[in-house]
Amino acid sequence: MARATKTLTVSLPPQIYEEVEKIARQEQKTKSELFRDMVRVYEDFLDARRWSQLRRVGADSAKKLGVKTEADIERLVHEARGIKG
């Protein structure tokens, strides 16, 4: 039967290693649990950054197209579909 986990070895400067051990003790977690939590937090950070970038692109596109209201969006959709208002 395959293992439910995989092993990852990382190298850390001694100061960071000590900090990881300290945090793990404070949180009453193993270093593995702490690392898994850190990866989840980083994934959330990446998701937030991606959404921020997407909002910025959307805002830039809206500005270029003169979109200020939902009616503007409907107008553009109808124009793209060839529907006369």
Residue 3 lies inside a defined structural domain of this protein: no
Domain membership flag for residue 9? no
The answer to whether residue 2 is domain-embedded is no
Domain-embedded: residue 5: no
Tens-digit pLDDT profile for residues 33-84: 999 999 999 999 999 999 999 999 999 999 998 999 999 999 899 989 988 7
Q: Is residue 26 part of a domain?
A: yes
Quick check: is 70 in a domain? yes
Count of domains for the chain:
1
What is the full DSSP assignment across 23-58? HHHHHT--HHHHHHHHHHHHHHHHHHHHHHHHHHHH
Q: What range does the domain containing 46 cover? A: 14-81
- pTM recorded for the entire structure: 0.67
